[in-house]
Amino acid sequence: MKARSGKTRARAARPWWHPLALAGATLLGLLGLFLVWQAWVMMDDAQASQRMRQVGAHAEKVVASYIHDKRSQVQQMLADGVVQQALVSGDEGGRQAAAARARQLLPGVTQVDFYSASLDEVIDAGNYHHFGYAKAAQLIDIQARRHAPQFETTHRGGSRALTLVQPVSSNGQLLGYAWLQWPFAPLQQAFAKVDAGPGRVELREGDGDGWVLAAHGASTAEPGASRKGVPDSDLSIATALPVPFVMAPRPWPLSAVIGLLCLFGAGALLWYRARAPRSTNATEIEEPTLSDVTRQMAAEEAAAKSAAKPAPVAEPAKPAATVSVDRHMFRAYDIRGVVGKTLNAEVARLIGQAIGSLMAESELTEIVVGRDGRLSGPELAGALAEGLRDAGIDVIDIGAAPTPVIYFAAYRFNTGSGVAVTGSHNPPDYNGFKIVVGGQTLSEKAIQDLYERIAENRLHKAETRGGLRQVEVLDDYVDRIAQDVSAERSLKVVVDAGNGIAGAVAPRVLEAIGCEVVPLYCEVDGQFPNHHPDPSDPKNLEDLILSVKQTGADIGVAFDGDGDRLGVVTREGEIIYPDRLLMLFARDVLSRQPGATIIYDVKCTGHLQTEILQAGGSPLMWRTGHSLIKSKMRETEAALAGEMSGHFFFGERWYGFDDGIYSGARLLEILAGDLEGRAPEQIFATLPNGVSTPELKIATEEGENYAFIERFREKAQFEGARLTTIDGLRADWDDGWGLIRASNTTPVLVLRFDADSAAALKRVQKAFREQLKAVDPELKLPF
């Protein structure tokens, strides 16, 4: 081996500023590239904005054409000789004949009413409450010429309609006014065909921040940048693009020029650095000696031998642990578990992905997510949203809000889907999910299917994750109720929210409709420090009863933990149970919609059926459960429904979902609008009342409650009673009734008895006791 000589050589040193020049050139280059990229983003955004202006113009043209066609049809109808002749008579019979003829001439119209030129039938004192505030306002506005006749949108029972008030004249003489209504769906379908281009296009109500009636396109865009009203209507078109990431100065040519100058400067620095002379000061570098080379070669040989040895075989990696999901959380009406035990963020994410998978199969793309005031809410709602986004679903996060506000937001943003992260009236360590997909509240098999998807790993993973945007909707909710509900005289009301999330909204709503509110436990606190937020338990109403008496209030209302149930007490301390409240609501609704279907659950009093019939309605008893009631309402197009638990569902003037806060507003409207000026307790006294028991419960083993009900149905015999078996078994006699059913949330049997007198109640209980013992002699009865 030939060794190197030990000679030395000299090398010129670089100037001290060389590293600084390289760093400066790097920074200038990166800045230049960033500014050039920003200029491209701004230029692309400008082109996209021009495209969205074209989209908005086309959308406005589509909607305006639809409105114009309808208006032309109306003008032709009003010019019809038969219609004109019928209206000249000026009486009700003539107006009804004109309406019948109009329905023949107007394809697709769902309702036509004619009113006199004076509108006396509308303006009569106290008649707005029964006639309908929104409809009356439309007619009076046109009579007062506050604006020209225009097409407007109305909301009824969860569905939207297009309405128009048009004056009717003949030879210069005003004959009256026509009120016409069409379904909104055809207009929505026409709007859906508009290409949203690179952004989002929305059809809105009004020219401001009105309701989103229909929308499609990029979910991350927030319409509002460009709006255009549709002629002859209260509709407007809103368009917008996703907000681009721009930090550079505008306009884009300025950023482009600055960026190019930065790139030129970076190149100049590098060129000058390369051309700069090196220092004449030499640094001596000693070359390696023979011994150095020998040691180096020996080290290299040792390293080569070590590398030749076989490497130890590594143990195969263990698969990641799977997340355990408890099937018992998936109940009949919702999903509910104990935080830290059966429910955590990982489980919530899987549930979100399962919901998103179901939505993807139905080609649904957007969902509203909100949460109640529980301490675990933010983490679980965030994890749920991540799971939904994993499945490609765009999430609208409305933050902390009552469950009915989340349902409202699904209508407000036209998603048809929403998830409320809530433990309802359960203890603080519980939480769960109430789910609506495509307008359907999931229950029973649909909820079990979510579990099966998770257990079988049938979860959709989208190539592109869904978007996320935070939206404030509480103000819209308050305004929407205040526009429709009004207390004709101010009532003083104590509001007990039990430290649930309803406390953030209910006082605002009731004040907005004209009431004086005394808040009680309205500070949102997920620990529920004062009492449990469950108005169905009389113990939880004790503080409310005391507060109503001490403050001299007219009435007290209470809400559960997520605001979808209502409880009521009088100033005399009487609890007005939900089935009696439903009688009052039914009288009110049927005064405007005679013949409408009113649904109630199997736990309600037998007097309810008689009251509905006497008020001119069609009573329908159905199974207990908020999701089951909502499904039946959609099927029957019922105007109203209620449960003994305190859930009320208004299809008339509202959207058909259970809403304790809105129900409280409607109750106060009825009480304040009483034509005789009676106090609330006097009005409640007109509702039939009987002798009843609270819900009585018998604990069983898991699943045994269902098996017992099956045996009881087969063996039980109640002489002279009408039997109902849609949910357990209910036996009705002329003076009382009894019920036994299996709870869908816990392994218990639920019983309730109600009668006209104490003697009748004892007789009904005796009959049930005998039949229960006949099925299981060892059964321990709580009565």
Residues marked as catalytic: 424
Alpha-carbon span 364 to 708, nearest angstrom: 41
Measure CA of the first residue to CA of the last residue in the chain; give whole Å: 108
Residues 371 and 470: beta-carbon distance below 8 Å: no
Alpha-carbon span 557 to 355, nearest angstrom: 35
The backbone torsions φ and ψ at residue 337, rounded to the nearest 5 degrees and listed phi first, read -150, 180
Alpha-carbon span 181 to 187, nearest angstrom: 13
Q: Give the three-state DSSP class for 344.
A: coil
The backbone torsions φ and ψ at residue 144, rounded to the nearest 5 degrees and listed phi first, read -80, 0
CB atoms within 10 A of CB 453: 19
**DSSP string computed for 426-495:** S-TTEEEEEEEETTEE--THHHHHHHHHHHTT-----SS---EEE---HHHHHHHHHHH---SS--EEEE
Alpha-carbon span 731 to 725, nearest angstrom: 9
E runs forming strands in 86-210: 111-116, 152-156, 159-170, 173-183, 200-205
- Cα 669-670-674 angle, rounded to 5 deg: 115
**DSSP string computed for 501-539:** GGGGTHHHHHHHTT-EEEEES-S--TT--SS-S-TTSGG
What kind and span of H or E run contains 157? none
Query: Could you tell me the CA-to-CA distances from 350 to 329, 334, 385, 660 in Å, in that order?
Result: 13, 15, 10, 30
Q: How many CA atoms lie within 13 A of 269 on its CB side?
A: 19
What kind and span of H or E run contains 191? helix 185-192
Residues 771 and 715: beta-carbon distance below 8 Å: yes
What's the token pair of residue 537? 């338990």
Residues 709 and 740: beta-carbon distance below 8 Å: yes
- Comparing CA positions, the residue from 665, 636, 664, 673 lying closest to residue 651 is 636
**Cα Dmax for the chain:** 128
